[in-house]
Amino acid sequence: MNFRRLKAVTKKELLHIVRDWRSLTLAIAMPLMMLLLFGYALTLDVDRIPTYVYDWDRTPESRELIQQFRGSRYFNILDSVDDYSAIERGIDRSKILMGIVVSQDYSRNLLEGREADVQILLDGSDSNTASIAMGYADAIVQGYAAKLRSDAQIRRGGGELKVPVDTRIRVWYNSDLKSRNFIVPGLIAVTLMIIAAMLTSLTIAREWENGTMEQLLSTPVRPAELVLGKLLAFFALGLLDMLICVIVAVFVFQVPFRGSVWFLFFTSCAFLFGALCWGIFISATIRTQLLAYQMGMLSSFLPAFLLSGFIYSIGNMPQVIQWISYAVPARYFVAIVNGVFLKGVGVQMLWGQALLLIAYAAIVFWAAVRKMRLKVA
């Protein structure tokens, strides 16, 4: 490999990037816009659940129960209604997710020591959200019932009722249980995969369409030098996008950063190099820019978004899909970014994912060079 020729190809690509200010602005602004848009709009938190209350009993005891829901951040009591039909209309119109119905004889049964009924009506269209809401409601009712049993025991002179099992919950790494702290680091991996593949998937195809590839082929530049020279120019731009994403994650979204900056930098370089090589491979395979762009987006966005564990747990997927996900490099980089940001772990725990990223980058680089050599031949 001749470094003089490599430098010339890299300089040529850098001049193309700088002169095309529209594409340069898009390449820098798109990661920022994607991170801000998905970071604020995409959330897995279930709170402030819109709720109607039908208090059939209308007693101090029933109002005290409803106050437990009002005081919880997980529920947003929109209105108190007078019949079931209002709750049904609210659910049918997707205005509410849940309805609370306090039975007519709630206070009488409660004061006489009998079982008092509370009905929870849920919109089960989104089964996951409905299950979480049902768990929140059940926890509030059970906690309130335990308090009533303890108060009744004290009134009878039996002392405070002791719970046989004392559960103490300690949450590690994401103590606030904010889904944003998990989503935003994963977004960095998905964004870089999309941008890298999009940037390089057009470079060779553009040379063929503009008729400049024949001029390059007439020079002494070898396929490896051509591929690496084009990669280095976009690699610098990718590192700038990575820096922007990390700054936004830490200072805008307040995601805790507990790991090693250098380990994140090293693995980001390996991931970026592999993603850029994949774009070069697509561009060398397909000579039209439109088709190369479509294939680049299809082969980068969908796997990175769906099969990386960024949103959907890979362990819950069918076994065949789990096997396919092993071929998705974003899967390993998402694990690395989340581990570095939230857990503060480094090479001791994530060396396997780092090695797989390096192996992926080497394989795709070899494939891109081979495809370019075949095109030259």
List beta partners, residue 25.
none
- Give 3-state DSSP helix, strand, coil % of the chain, rounded to 5: 70, 5, 25
Residues 220 and 272 in one domain: yes
In-domain check, residue 83: yes
pLDDT at 276 over 60: yes
Task: Work out how many domains the chain is built from and give that number.
Answer: 2
Q: CB count, 10 Å around CB of 91?
A: 19
Query: Rounded CA gap, 26 and 278, in Å?
Result: 20
Q: What is the pLDDT of residue 1?
A: 65
pLDDT at 205 over 80: no
pLDDT at 370 over 80: yes
Residues 215 and 352 in one domain: yes
In-domain check, residue 170: no
HEC per residue, 271-330:
HHHHHHHHHHHHHHHCCCHHHHHHHHHHHHHHHHHHCCCCCCCHHHCCHHHHHHHCCCHH
Backbone region of residue 159 per phi and psi (left: phi > 0; alpha: psi in -120 to 50; beta: other values): left
Residues 325 and 364 in one domain: yes
Q: What is the pLDDT of residue 157?
A: 61
Residues 320 and 190 in one domain: yes
Please enumerate in sequence order all residues whose Cβ is within 8 A of that of 359, keeping only pairs 6 or more positions apart, or say none.
none
In-domain check, residue 115: yes
Please enumerate in sequence order all residues whose Cβ is within 8 A of that of 131, keeping only pairs 6 or more positions apart, or say none.
none
The label of the residue with tokens 């529209």 reads 22
Which is more confident, 109 or 356? Answer: 356
* CATH number reported for the structural domain that contains residue 114 in this entry: 3.40.1710.10
Residues 219 and 363 in one domain: yes
In-domain check, residue 173: no
In-domain check, residue 163: no
The label of the residue with tokens 């390996």 reads 270
Residues 337 and 189 in one domain: yes
Residues 18 and 84 in one domain: no
pLDDT digits (tens, 9 = 90+) for 31-77: 888 888 877 777 777 788 999 999 888 888 888 889 989 888 889 99
pLDDT at 270 over 60: yes
Q: What is the pLDDT of residue 33?
A: 83
pLDDT digits (tens, 9 = 90+) for 175-191: 777 777 888 888 888 88
E-strand stretches of 93-243: 98-102, 118-122
In-domain check, residue 241: yes
Q: Find the largest Cα–Cα distance for the chain.
A: 99
pLDDT at 347 over 70: yes
Per-residue pLDDT band for 164 (boundaries 50, 70, 90) equals: low
Which is more confident, 201 or 33? Answer: 33
- What is the pLDDT averaged over residues 215-219? 66
- What is the pLDDT averaged over residues 94-101? 90
In-domain check, residue 266: yes
* Number of residues that this document lists for the chain: 377
User: pTM for the whole thing?
Assistant: 0.77
In angstroms, the Cα distances linking 16 to 28, 57, 221 are 15, 74, 18
Residues 79 and 138 in one domain: yes
Question: What's at 116, amino acid-wise?
Answer: A
- What is the pLDDT averaged over residues 114-132? 85
**Structural domain harbouring 83:** 49-155
Residues 53 and 197 in one domain: no
pLDDT digits (tens, 9 = 90+) for 234-269: 888 888 888 888 898 889 888 888 889 999 999 999
Q: What is the pLDDT of residue 263?
A: 92
Q: Which residue among 155, 189, 212 closes a domain?
A: 155
Tell me the pLDDT of the chain averaged across its residues: 82
Which is more confident, 14 or 160? Answer: 14
Residues 206 and 333 in one domain: yes
How, if at all, do strands 49-55 and 75-80 pair? Answer: parallel
Residues 222 and 339 in one domain: yes
In-domain check, residue 168: no
